[in-house]
Each structure stands twice: as C-alpha cells, then as structure tokens.
Amino acid sequence: MRIGIDLGGTSVKAALCEEDGTLLAKQSTPTRTGDAAGLCADMKLLALALCGERGIAASQVTSIGIGVPGSFDKETCTLKFGTNLGMNNVCFAEAFQPEFSCAVQLDNDANCAALGEATAGAAKNARNMVMLTLGTGVGGGIIIDGKLYTGCNGIAGEMGHVVIQRDGEPCNCGRKGCLEAYASAAAFVKFAERALAEGRESLLSKHAGHLDAKMICDAVDAGDLLARELFDEYCENLSSGLASYINIFQPESLVLGGGLAGYGEKLLEPLRRLTIPQTFRSDKCNTEIVCASLGNDAGLIGAAML
C-alpha cells in the first residue's frame, strides 16, 4: 500500500493507493497555512484515517510521497520555500513517525501529476510521456521508461521555460519569449485583455479587466470573432512548443493538463492538426496528444508512486 499527499495552499489531500497506483480512498483537510507543526500533524492524521477507513495497519504502508508547491530538497525531504503554504525549511522526513516507518519522498506537484497520468491516467500505457500543464504558468513533467525524470538536481522538466520567440513576450522567469508567456492560461487572458484595451469589439468586452480563460473559450463557442482569433493564435503558439517536444522526445503520449485542458477535444483537434505536420519526421510521428484524465487525483496518485 502507498500513500500520496497533495499539499496545496487551500487543502491537504491524501490518498491510499495500491502498489500499481489504483486509488482506494481519499481524505482531505484545510491547509493550516503558516503552521508547520500543525500541517505535519494533519498529514499524519490523514494517513492514519485512510488506513483506518480501509482497515489496514500503518506498517503495511510501503511508501509515502508528498507533492509540494515550491522548492524543496529531495535528499533531506525538506520543503525549502513554500510561499503558498506560508512556511519555509520544513523537514517532512519524520512527520509520519512513529506510526509509519517507511521512507517519505517529495517532488513538485507538476511532476506528481505527470507521474499520476502515466501510472493510471491518460498515458497509462506509455513508457515515455511528456506532460504540460496549462494553468497560471506552464508546468510539466517528463516520464522516461515509466519513471519520473528530474535531472541531476531534481528540477528538470520546466517545460514552460523554453524560448519559442527570441525577444518576445516577457516571462515570469525573467527571460523573454518562453512558451509559458504564450501558452499559459494567464497569457491567453493577457492577450485577450490587450485586444480589448485596443478597442477590439467582442462579446468579451463586458468582462474587460476580469477575464478568465473559460470566458474566452465560451465566447469561441458563442461564435465571437475576436475570441476565435485569440484561440487560433493560442493553438498556433502552443503547437510550436508541442512540435519541438515531439522532435526531442518522440514520446508515446503528450498529455495536456491544467485548466485549459478542460476544453478537451475542442483544444486537441486544432492542436493535433497544427502540431503533427510541424514535426521533423511527421510520417513516423506516433505521439498521441491527449488531455489529462485524472483531474486532481493525478497529483495524489503520482505522489503515492514517487
């Protein structure tokens, strides 16, 4: 049995999984922001509650994994900077003792989501997969030979931080022209707000100043011309990054997660149409471009599989 924990700024979620990642039970509790001891106590309570719910002993749990937002040190099992949690330098290595004696693993939440989708989700049968989460930023994760790939320092897989346009849009990372600056939900909204500020007519005008990605997608569905133009540009920008990732990895599966992936086939159809012909040997391209299928459970299952 394995336990996976998804440490979010709002709630702490925990799941009990079988060795193969099958999810057996979930529990959650609001996050005690800024209270590291309280948070550790809650995590252990959740783990014990899961065991109680399924009638198993804590000693039967063979691994505990935690998906964390922020930077961390794997070797010491320490959260270094957890801005959303209001705490820094928290060591989780002994947080589950004495009841649980197994090792505790940490990784970032985007990596856990990728591992979850590769274990039990949209890329279940893929040995090699790349996941991009299209949210406030563009995160992601890389699975090679069924395992999470994290590089020599544990921070590989920053899929949003590849330049697709030198000297282009400013990115949060300090560079210009990163994929994140074009393909995140935030960038999608930014371009829409910019077009409205330039006086473009649209159904979106009444939401100017507080747009979100769903509003733009809804306006596409309603036949709005500006929204369609923004969506087409978004897909073109994203396809440029996807084609590059196929040329690098030729993965069985390229999984899109995050808020925008909720648009499903309406996003996948143009992306596939734009991306595949751009790949280097498009005749040999075997990469399936799909949306994540586990939702929030991906991070939980992935954490359990760390």
* Residue 280 within binding range of a second copy, rule CB under 8 A: yes
Give whichever of 100 and 191 is closer to a second copy, judged by the CB atom.
191
* Residue 211 within binding range of a second copy, rule CB under 8 A: no
* Residue 240 within binding range of a second copy, rule CB under 8 A: yes
Q: Which range in 29-37, 100-108, 184-192, 280-288 contacts a second copy by CB under 8 A?
A: 280-288
* Residue 141 within binding range of a second copy, rule CB under 8 A: no
* Residue 71 within binding range of a second copy, rule CB under 8 A: yes
Pairing of strands 253-257, 129-134: parallel
Output the smallest distance, CB 249 to a second copy, in A: 5
Q: Which residue type does 296 have?
A: N
User: What are the phi and psi torsion angles at 139 (to 5°)?
Assistant: -100, -165
Output the smallest distance, CB 145 to a second copy, in A: 8
* Residue 143 within binding range of a second copy, rule CB under 8 A: no
3-state secondary structure of 49: helix
List Cβ neighbours of 61 (8 Å cut-off, separation of 6 or more). Answer: 1, 2, 3, 47, 51, 100, 102
* Residue 163 within binding range of a second copy, rule CB under 8 A: yes
* Residue 33 within binding range of a second copy, rule CB under 8 A: no
CA nearest 107: which of 61, 140, 74? 74
Output the smallest distance, CB 251 to a second copy, in A: 6
Pair of tokens at residue 103? 């090792």
Angle between helices 265-275 and 225-249 (to 10 degrees): 60
Give whichever of 241 and 259 is closer to a second copy, judged by the CB atom.
241
Output the smallest distance, CB 128 to a second copy, in A: 6
Return the residue of 116, 157, 257, 258 that touches a second copy, per CB under 8 A. Answer: 157
Residue 39 Ramachandran class (φ > 0 left, ψ -120 to 50 alpha, else beta):
alpha
Rounded distance, CA 212 to CA 284, Å?
A: 38
Return the residue of 169, 218, 229, 252 that touches a second copy, per CB under 8 A. Answer: 252
CB 292 within 8 A of CB 103: no
CB 116 within 8 A of CB 131: no
Q: Which range in 59-67, 98-106, 153-161, 212-220 contacts a second copy by CB under 8 A?
A: 153-161
Q: List contacts with a second copy (CB under 8 A).
A: 71, 126-128, 142, 144-145, 149-159, 161-166, 168, 173-175, 237, 240-241, 243-244, 247-252, 278, 280-281, 284-287
